Structure 1
Amino acid sequence: MSTTIAQLRHFIALADSGSFTRAADSTRRSQDAFSRSIAMLEAHLGAALVERSGHRNALTPIGRTVLEHARQVVAQADELHQVVRHHVSGEAGSVRLGMTATPHALLGRRLLHMAAGHAGHMRLQLSGGPQAQQIQALRDRALDALVMDLRSLPGAHADLEVHTLAELPTGVLVRPGHPLAQRHPVRFADLTEFAVACTGMSAATGRLLVQRLGLQAHPDTLITLGSESVADLLDVVSHTDAVYLGIVAPAAPLLAQGRLVALDIPTQGLQSHIAWVQRVARAPNPVLDGIRGQVQAWLGEAGSIEQAAELPA
């Protein structure tokens, strides 16, 4: 007798629901068949994975360890099947990308259009949220890849494969009639007179600003309007005296229309390095590799200073 992928799927369903009844329903098994599957898994592994106490079904310590491995094994099996389907029938399968705010603003719509027109009926899921949660979701195989600021990636990531895609210039933008638009040059200290809109900063960028400009440049002090929606931030800045601080590329249409202008303020060293992050242990996926290539090409276009904005030196 050997452990099967089906048994591991049943065990994961039980761990996620905490109930034999709910897990049996979610896997479309009778309760008797589901219970036998879990019992067979425990017999093969030679260890109790679940503490059965009335209606409470908690994992044992070894059960929690088995769960981590079960998720990896099942995810790898799913990746293998997806690759085979792609080669045999051309089916693109499912791709789950995590994206931080600015990459999402630059790429989200284009990726969705690409997936909608894909001949292989690609299923594409774009996810946002806190970067730490996205990195953990990648490690847990809930995501296939991340597109994020390289500076936000933790220092120790031996289990992750990182590819730098592009360097995008950062700037400070305001509406044309803004009081700061008449000052040359503008100091970072001048920004504190107004609401500063930003998607957020990596700890490394925050430290760099504080080293250069003092505590008034600490993100907790400097940033007063925060959102994961770059479009919302740019809209506020184009209609008020708020100041946008961040990657310039998403604002290219507003700059071209004259609805925003770049301030004469130095931002050397604040460029954002966008990276593609995947797990080291993964099945080859030509569809995902193709998406990475397309994303890099789009970011290369966005990284052009001439296209993004005429930034001050």
Structure 2
Amino acid sequence: MLDGLTLDQMRVFVAVANSGSFRAGAGKVARVQSAVSHAIANLEAELGIALFDRSGHRPVLTPEGRALLANARDILLRVDAMRARARGLGEGVEPELSLVIDTLFPLEQVGAALTEMRAEYPSVAIRLSIEPLGGPVAGLLEQRCQLAVTVGEDFRDPRLELRALSAVPVVTVVAAGHPLARQAEGRTLAISDLADHLQIVLTDPTPLSEGRDFGVISPQTCRVNTQETKLALIRAGLGWGRLPLWEVERHLAEKQLVRLASHALGRSGLLVSESYLAHRIDAPLGPAARAFAQSLMQLSGPRSP
């Protein structure tokens, strides 16, 4: 029987495993080292297995300890989520709603959802940041925002709950007067064609993508920090790049920009990514945040490329 297991024991177990020593783990849970050792020993006795090999200078997780660590983390996350939900149910309206939105997501939908939220909660102030790549996820992990919208599958964290919103089509474009536009007439471009020209690329303001590039094909790059800058440089003819369809539809219709087709860029130069509404499972959402989330879920829908 495992009735003697406690959440405190599990928190101590996870703290020691994360920090790599009983002393460091004791510091994380604000206990003396002897109390931490005692808690781990009691947990091992309840489970009937050794969680750590103590024969070396530092305790090392046993194979059984590694297997059960994932279970302990999952249990603690669920308990934290339950506590957060209970706190949220007992709290009043929050004074401010803070959001970080992926630069690929249509801002009009966010604006419409905020308008509906403000109609119900007019006293709530709004703090909105538009960030690319890992920015929305980092905003939640760093507790800079209550809700975030992220696009794509590259950034995930078990501390976050995600709900799918809608598809976001991203197309590859170039200015109508650019040499690639003439090359692309009636043909599908090869990677070598694209690599011969400058690619305009967004940089990640966070360390979450350190050492990785996303969708970079050309060895010639111009890296910028905002989507508006990227669009402006592409329209000026400096190079080619990928942009959300909602942002370039008018420029394509007015023939200022041209779509590029290449098998390396998705069919017809189009890539469809899923967008997600995200929040920390250990942080309660107030009434205004819940109202905004509900409105955005209802307003967001699949868009045809």
What is the TM-score of this pair, normalised by structure 2? 0.60
SS in 1 for 2:160: coil
Distance 2:149 2:28 in 1: 24
* Deviation, structure 1 residue 235: 4.8
Structure 2 match to 1:310 = none
Residues 1-313 of structure 1 mapped to structure 2, 5 A cutoff: 2-90=4-92, 102-103=104-105, 117=126, 123-124=145-146, 131=153, 134-135=155-156, 137=157, 141-145=158-162, 163=164, 165-175=165-175, 177-179=177-179, 185=185, 187-189=187-189, 192=194, 194-197=197-200, 225=221, 231=227, 233-250=230-247, 255=251, 261-263=256-258, 270=270, 272-276=272-276, 292-296=293-297, 299-300=300-301, 303=303
Cα offset, 1:42, TM superposition: 1.1
Q: Relative contact order (alpha carbons < 8 A, sep ≥ 6): 1 or 2 greater?
A: 2
Measure how far apart 1:2 and its partner are: 1.2
| Paired residues of 2:231 and 2:243 also in contact (CA < 8 A) | no
AA in 2 matched with 1:57: P
Runs of 5+ in structure 1 lacking a partner? 147-162, 200-218, 306-313
Alpha-carbon deviation of 1:196?
Answer: 3.7
Aligned counterparts of 1:46 and 1:177: Cα–Cα separation in 2? 73
Paired residue type of 1:8: M
Consecutive unaligned residues of structure 2, counting only runs of 5 or more, are: 118-123, 128-142, 203-214, 262-266
Aligned residue identity for 2:270: L
| Residues 252 and 29 of structure 1, relative CA distance in 2, 3 Å threshold | farther
User: Secondary structure of the equivalent of 2:39?
Assistant: helix
Structure 1 distance, partners of 2:183, 2:244, is 22
Cα separation, 2, equivalents of 1:172 and 1:293: 32
Q: TM-score, normalised by structure 1?
A: 0.58
Alignment identity in percent?
24
CA drift of 1:83 comes to: 1.0
Letter in 1 for 2:54: R
| Alignment-mate amino acid for residue 247 of structure 1 | P
Alignment-mate amino acid for residue 231 of structure 2: L
CA distance in 2: counterparts of 1:269 and 1:178, whole angstroms = 17
Query: How many positions carry a matched residue from both structures?
Result: 249
Post-superposition offset of 1:34: 1.6
RMSD (Å) for aligned C-alpha atoms? 5.0
The code of the aligned residue for 2:69 comes to L
Separation in structure 1 between the aligned mates of residue 221 and residue 65 of structure 2, nearest angstrom: 45
Q: Is the 8 A contact 1:98 1:127 kept in 2?
A: yes
Asked whether the 8 Å contact 2:22–2:37 carries over to 1, the reply is yes
The answer to which of 222-231 and 28-37 deviates more is 222-231
* Alpha-carbon distance between aligned partners in 2 of 1:65 and 1:91, rounded to the nearest angstrom: 42
Distance 1:167 1:263, change over 3 A: same
Q: Decide whether the 8 Å contact of 2:199 with 2:216 is kept in 1.
A: no
Q: 1:23 to 1:251 in 2, by over 3 A?
A: farther
Give the distance between the partners of 2:92 and 2:101, measured in 1 at CA.
Answer: 26
Matching residue's letter, 2:85: V
Q: Which amino acid aligns with 1:243?
A: W
Amino acid at match of 2:22: F
Amino acid at match of 2:189: A
